[in-house]
């Protein structure tokens, strides 16, 4: 469904991702793991069109989306749930969800999707008129996920979904992400919590210094001595 | 109650000349109203998209000059032997011309604002206003330079039964300004309550997120800049045909500062903010003037501004809204404290 071919991208003259090739199959949950600064977040930003791609190709659903506008990529069905559970702090929960389907015009379907998301996240339903900046961290993460779902994506990308959340909320967040995959949406996830990310995924990639060093099923990576030593700390 | 309030304010506005018998006060009211329109236009840019234009008076001045020149006519030689003669048009034609010319300049500045952000945008806009002042000062063939454009004709309208009617009366002109003001208010209201307005607020709140939900940043910044400049141009045209003389001093930085003060103290990003701020800082100098020496008067002006910004950092209108909100839900823990925390890291 999503293919990266020798992707090179970064900020200004500094290239962070140096020739990365990965595949994300339809309906899969794929994890990207790696240390800080390895280029995971940069990869997601390059896919969703937030930063320019120097060379290489991004192919989504058979279509070349290299350096397409963020708008175009979103409308093709790639949603990005950025790092640090970004929400619009001065808008209400409902307004934040509406922003998620900014490019859609079908009011009826939007209303349906909204009630489905409120069903899925009852906490958000309770607080639908509350200003997003006053929600707790976990609730903001739910809102960010809900907003990403509002665009009816075929592929949803999560950047560090567990970052800064309380342990019990982290588990809940991972459950939600697995659920999204089970409902048929493809998921690409970047996660520091390597063990959890490897255990829940169908396929995983290890990135070091902007390049791919290992690929395989989650189990294979968990059992790999290098991964165990460097990322699972045992 | 909610529906009655706008009607009440409209009534107050349109009966103002009836109980404002003093022509001097009427004059002050008209000037204040013109500046309120300019402040409302600045609020669209500053309050809703978060772009601080410190050269906003440029659009006001451009509107004034374009409008005045349209109705006065001009005769200039351009380098390369190009000779342009413009015969005087009816004064009322100056109004749309002022809006369009100012709007075009806004388009230019809006395009630029995508390239330069933050402090650089502020500097570019200040420079833009200063360059405009120098052009007005030195292009004597067109603008008369420091001699000023004078004898600017009043607006004239054609009325059935009366024929050509020239607006010399202050009372009638007040209604013209009030009508333009109400129109601008309604346009801004429609705009900010629409999808476009939502996009602008999203941009100000969290730009990278706004881009990732598919908002076209350039388009909305340019749109806001054009609308804002066009309204400032309309205010400039009203000013030119009201005072009937304009000189390069119209581009002075102090006028921009006045508009910014009106917006900030009233409450940026609120519809009523620039009006409340405008009324206070438009009438204050006049009220104070009758009691104290001019030097003291400016001190009071400055002190009041500091007090308002210090006590009500978000402006008067949001403070009042918050007060009523708190009274309504006194039993519930208010969200104010959390919102104040949100403000802190952003500024």
- The reply to whether residue A133 touches residue B212, judged by beta carbons under 8 angstroms, is no
Here the ipTM equals: 0.73
Cα–Cα distance for residue pair A63/B203, rounded to 1 Å: 29
The fraction of chain A above a pLDDT of 90, given in percent, is: 15
Mean pLDDT of A72-97: 87
- The reply to whether residue A90 touches residue B199, judged by beta carbons under 8 angstroms, is no
pLDDT at residue B204 tops 90: no
pLDDT at residue B339 tops 60: no
B1 Cβ contact list (under 8 Å, min separation 6): none
- The reply to whether residue B198 touches residue A87, judged by beta carbons under 8 angstroms, is no
Q: Which residues of B touch A103 (CB under 8 A)?
A: 214
In the numeric block, which tokens belong to residue B47?
Answer: 């309050």
- The DSSP result for B11-33, as a single string, is HHHHHHHHH---HHHHHHHHHHH
Question: Number of structural domains, chain B?
Answer: 1
Q: Which residues of A touch B210 (CB under 8 A)?
A: 88, 99
For residue range B12-59, list pLDDT tens digits in order.
888 777 777 788 888 888 999 999 999 999 999 888 888 888 889 999
- Domain-embedded: residue B138: yes
- Domain-embedded: residue B297: no
For residue B229, name the pLDDT band (cuts at 50, 70, 90). very high
- Domain-embedded: residue B106: yes
SS3 state of residue A164: coil
Among the CATH numbers 3.40.309.10, 3.40.470.10, 3.40.50.300, 3.30.390.30, which is that of A2-230? 3.40.50.300
Cα–Cα distance for residue pair B65/B61, rounded to 1 Å: 6
pLDDT of the residue at B19: 77
- Residue B277 contacts residue B262 (beta carbons within 8 Å): yes
Residue closest to B42 by CA, chosen among B60, B27, B24: B60
The answer to whether A99 faces chain B, any CB pair under 8 Å, is yes
Work out the minimum CA distance from B50 to partner chain A, whole angstroms.
14
pLDDT of the residue at A234: 58
- The reply to whether residue A88 touches residue B202, judged by beta carbons under 8 angstroms, is yes
E strand intervals along chain A = 2-11, 14-24, 29-33, 53-60, 63-64, 78-81, 155-159, 186-190, 203-208, 211-216
- Domain-embedded: residue B56: yes
- Domain-embedded: residue B261: no
Q: For residue A72, what is the nearest residue in chain B, using CA coordinates?
A: B214
The residue among B338 and A97 whose pLDDT is bigger is A97
For residue range A32-74, list pLDDT tens digits in order.
988 888 888 899 999 988 888 998 989 999 889 988 888 889 8
Helix B170-192, helix B4-19: angle, nearest 10: 160
Mean pLDDT of B267-273: 88
Mean pLDDT of B104-133: 86
The answer to whether B211 faces chain A, any CB pair under 8 Å, is yes
Q: What is chain B's length?
A: 347
- Domain-embedded: residue B275: no
Neighbour-count burial of A75, counting CB atoms closer than 10 A to its CB (0-12 exposed, 13-18 middle, 19+ buried):
middle
Q: For residue A82, what is the nearest residue in chain B, using CA coordinates?
A: B209
Mean pLDDT estimate for chain B: 83
pLDDT of the residue at B104: 95
- Domain-embedded: residue B290: no
- Residue A31 contacts residue A191 (beta carbons within 8 Å): yes
The residue among B162 and B250 whose pLDDT is bigger is B250
The answer to whether A100 faces chain B, any CB pair under 8 Å, is yes
- The reply to whether residue B212 touches residue A75, judged by beta carbons under 8 angstroms, is no
- Domain-embedded: residue B225: yes
Neighbour-count burial of B52, counting CB atoms closer than 10 A to its CB (0-12 exposed, 13-18 middle, 19+ buried):
middle
- The DSSP result for B175-233, as a single string, is HHHHHHHHHHHHHHHHHHTSHHHHHHHHHHH-HHHHHHTT--HHHHHHHHHHHHHHHHH
pLDDT at residue B63 tops 70: yes
Mean pLDDT of B115-137: 87
Strands A53-60 and A63-64: antiparallel
Cα–Cα distance for residue pair A188/A26, rounded to 1 Å: 11
For residue B337, name the pLDDT band (cuts at 50, 70, 90). very low
B347 Cβ contact list (under 8 Å, min separation 6): none
Cα–Cα distance for residue pair B77/B85, rounded to 1 Å: 9
pLDDT at residue B340 tops 70: no
- The reply to whether residue A89 touches residue B201, judged by beta carbons under 8 angstroms, is no
pLDDT at residue A3 tops 70: yes
For residue range B301-331, list pLDDT tens digits in order.
788 888 888 888 888 888 888 888 877 766 5
Range of the domain at B36: 23-252
């Amino acid at each position: 469904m999503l293919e990266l071919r020798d992707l090179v991208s970064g900020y200004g003259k500094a290239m962070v991702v140096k020739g990365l090739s990965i595949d994300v199959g339809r309906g899969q949950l794929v994890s990207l793991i790696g240390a800080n600064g390895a280029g995971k977040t940069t990869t997601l930003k390059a896919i969703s069109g937030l930063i320019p791609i120097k060379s290489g190709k991004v192919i989504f659903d058979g279509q070349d989306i290299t350096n397409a506008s963020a708008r175009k990529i979103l409308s093709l069905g790639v949603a990005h749930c950025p790092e640090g559970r970004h929400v619009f702090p001065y808008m209400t929960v409902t307004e934040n969800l509406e922003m998620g389907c900014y490019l859609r015009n079908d009011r009826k379907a939007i209303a349906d999707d909204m009630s489905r998301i409120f069903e899925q996240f009852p906490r958000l339903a309770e607080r639908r008129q509350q200003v997003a900046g006053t929600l707790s961290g976990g609730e903001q993460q739910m809102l960010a996920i809900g907003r990403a779902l509002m665009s009816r994506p075929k592929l949803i990308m999560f950047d560090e979904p567990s970052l800064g959340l309380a342990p019990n909320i982290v588990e809940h967040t991972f459950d939600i992400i697995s659920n999204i995959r089970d409902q048929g949406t493809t998921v690409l996830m970047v996660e520091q919590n390597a063990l959890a990310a490897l255990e829940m995924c169908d396929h995983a990639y290890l990135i070091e210094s902007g390049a791919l060093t290992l690929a395989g099923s989650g189990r294979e990576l968990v059992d790999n001595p290098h991964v165990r030593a460097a990322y699972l700390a045992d | 109650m909610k529906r009655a309030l706008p009607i009440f304010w409209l009534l107050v506005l349109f009966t103002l000349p009836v109980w404002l018998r003093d022509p001097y006060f009427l004059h002050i009211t008209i000037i204040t109203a013109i500046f309120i329109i300019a402040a409302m236009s600045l609020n669209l840019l500053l309050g809703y998209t978060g772009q601080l234009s410190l050269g906003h008076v440029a659009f006001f001045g451009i509107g004034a000059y374009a409008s005045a020149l349209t109705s006065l006519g001009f005769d200039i030689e351009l380098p390369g032997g190009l000779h342009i003669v413009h015969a005087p048009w009816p004064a009322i034609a100056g109004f749309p011309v002022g809006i369009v010319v100012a709007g075009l300049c806004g388009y230019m500045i809006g395009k630029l604002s995508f390239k330069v952000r933050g402090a650089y945008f502020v500097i570019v806009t200040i420079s833009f206003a200063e360059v405009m002042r120098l052009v007005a000062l030195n292009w004597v063939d067109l603008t008369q330079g420091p001699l000023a454009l004078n004898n600017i004709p009043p607006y004239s309208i054609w009325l059935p039964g009366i024929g050509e009617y020239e607006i010399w009366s202050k009372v009638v002109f007040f209604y013209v300004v009030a009508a333009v003001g109400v129109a601008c208010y309604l346009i801004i209201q429609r705009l900010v309550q629409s999808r476009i307005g939502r996009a602008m607020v999203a941009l100000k709140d969290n730009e990278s997120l706004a881009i990732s939900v598919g908002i076209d940043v350039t388009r909305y910044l340019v749109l806001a800049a054009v609308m804002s400049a066009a309204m400032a141009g309309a205010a400039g045209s009203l000013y030119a045909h009201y005072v009937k003389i304009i000189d390069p001093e119209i581009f002075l930085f102090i006028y921009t500062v006045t508009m910014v003060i009106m917006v900030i103290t009233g409450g940026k990003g609120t519809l009523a903010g620039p009006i409340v701020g405008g009324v206070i800082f438009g009438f204050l100098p006049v009220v104070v003037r009758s009691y104290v020496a001019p030097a003291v008067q400016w001190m009071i002006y400055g002190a009041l501004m500091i007090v308002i910004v210090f006590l009500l950092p978000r402006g008067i209108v949001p403070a009042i809204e918050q007060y009523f909100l708190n009274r309504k839900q006194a039993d519930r823990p208010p969200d104010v404290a959390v919102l104040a925390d949100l403000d802190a890291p952003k500024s």
